[in-house]
Chains A and B, each alone.
Chain A
Amino acid sequence: MPKVTIDGITIEVPNGTTILEAARMIGPEVAPPTMCYYSKLKTSGGYCRTCLVKVSQGSEKDPRPMPKPVASCRTQVMDGMVVENNTSAEIQEARAGVVEFLLVNHPLDCPVCDQAGECHLQDLGYEHGKSETRFEFPRREFEKRDIGDKIQLHMNRCILCYRCVKTADQVTDCRVHGVMNRGEVAEISTYIEKSIDNDFSGNVIDVCPVGALTDKTFRFQSRVWFTKPVDAHRDCDKCCGHVRLWYKGDDVLRVTARKDQWGEVADHEGKTGWICNTCRFDKKSTKDWVIDGPSAISRHSVISANHYNSLKALKVSIDRQKAALPHGEKVNLGQGALDPNNEIK
């Protein structure tokens, strides 16, 4: 069993473990951030370079350092290896550079994006990013593509992590989408705009680290931090049926898989807790579920700041406003102002 030291903490790990997995065994204080690596998906990782670490001693036998930062998700540990992650200024700078590259083409439309609040790129940018970009050219833009009525694709936000492609390969039985073209014009697309309809296709929403693949049924329904996450389960013949419901008032706005501390789909009874599309999109009523209790959310997360209790109070005051506007009398609100007759439902 090789021994590896990460940020001054030594741990013994099984043969063949990657540096990233070893760091995760120690804990979140030393684990490097990941954007493309997903422990539940085979062959994932190696694209985004977010998990770069410095290997200051290769092994016990050959103590020379590795010449440049290595991707920890793809590098296996050797006995006596010494790794620096958060303790290395060089790595922090390299990571800031990686974030800058990831954001080169990212539209930064967080105020519109449904992923905001639970977006890994947002967290990464907040921790390692710079406040300004040095990129002077127009950002890459793609034409809007419709990939079905359940999943919304925003190609402009994609960072090409390939997680969704691997999910489709390994979780569903047939993959109809993939990465087309190369280089800067590479994009996620379905083959000839064929819609995704597989029982487990909805899982690509959960694995997407950014807002490129989002739940169309949740689109613009609410900001994530105004909804309350609740763990629930039901008997499902297709999947494990253990999910997280996102409530606003009495309404279930969204159903997702449960996430673990790394933001990945949590294990259930030894298996990854992927959920089927029936659970995700069709069971949006409290009576379909057995509630296990409120989900544990870190108090540093914006999701724990949610205030809204109910939409009912809002509706009452809207009715009042509708009534307050005199009938037949046109209130001069200027161009494009709220029309009380057709805007409020």
Chain B
Amino acid sequence: MQLTNRSIQVVKKELTLSERLYFPAILKGMLITLSHLFKRKATIKYPEQDRELAAVYRGQHVLKRDDAGAERCTACGLCAVACPAEAITMESAERKKGEEGLYREEKYAKIYEINMLRCIFCGLCEDACPKEAIFLTDRIVPSSFTRGEEVFGKDILVESMTERVDVSKRQTPEVLSFKNDKKHKHNQTYLDRKN
């Protein structure tokens, strides 16, 4: 029974002489292969070469410090509650006297962990953060031989003051100009408050 009129009738034709020789077809195939030698490659030599990533690429997280070097994270737990993969865990502690240069607020994250195997890099933690502490960056999470190594603690996540991570490209010009306004407590460092 014919269901549609789009079916194609298969006809087994007698091969011509050139087809029977096979040679022209082989040559044609070789030419296609040869032409690819002169085309642009689809792959790159990673890790020697890096692919250009978008400014808002969502890669490995960073826990930012403020301009004076104090950790911005105050362990409010909003990133953990926003995380759909439940990848973030933390434990908080109270800042002691004399640690104002280390932690911005009177509470800080004693332990902060992101399980990179669970993380789906959705960026909701970045959206939820009220302290501009956590950002996703254009760095690619390195692979590892064991699962345990993929749980990143503060030793990996917190940025170092010598090699700061630039996240300014992820922020709108309005946000960046707001951050220069030292009138707001949100933008002051402990040094600003001292003066």
CB-contacts of A209-248 with B (<8 A):
219-223, 225-226
Q: Are A226 and B74 in contact (CB under 8 A)?
A: no
The residue of chain B having its C-beta at the shortest distance from the C-beta of A224 within the complex is B77
A228→B152 CA distance, assembly (Å): 26
Assuming the contacts A219-B94, A225-B81, asked whether A334 and B151 have C-beta atoms less than 8 A apart, the reply is no
| A338 proximity list for chain B (CB < 8 A) | 153-155, 158
Q: Are A317 and B153 in contact (CB under 8 A)?
A: yes
Interface residues on B, range: 35 or more
| B131 proximity list for chain A (CB < 8 A) | 111
The segment from B4-12, B34-42, B85-93 that touches chain A is B85-93
CB-contacts of B92-109 with A (<8 A):
92-94, 99, 101-103, 105-107
Q: Are A344 and B155 in contact (CB under 8 A)?
A: no
Q: Which 3 A-B pairs have the closest CB atoms?
A: A334-B160, A111-B76, A336-B102
| B113 proximity list for chain A (CB < 8 A) | 314, 317
A116→B81 CA distance, assembly (Å): 13
The residue of chain A having its C-beta at the shortest distance from the C-beta of B71 within the complex is A336
Kindly state whether residue B69 has any CB partner on chain A within 8 Å: yes
* New contact pairs (19) apart from A220-B107, A325-B155, CB-CB < 8 Å: A111-B105, A112-B76, A220-B92, A223-B77, A226-B81, A307-B80, A321-B155, A332-B162, A334-B69, A334-B159, A334-B160, A335-B101, A336-B71, A337-B155, A337-B158, A338-B153, A338-B158, A340-B155, A344-B110
Q: Are A344 and B111 in contact (CB under 8 A)?
A: yes
Kindly state whether residue A331 has any CB partner on chain B within 8 Å: yes
Shortest CB distance B155–A (Å): 6
Assuming the contacts A112-B106, A314-B89, A314-B91, asked whether A337 and B76 have C-beta atoms less than 8 A apart, the reply is no
| B119 proximity list for chain A (CB < 8 A) | none
Shortest CB distance B75–A (Å): 8
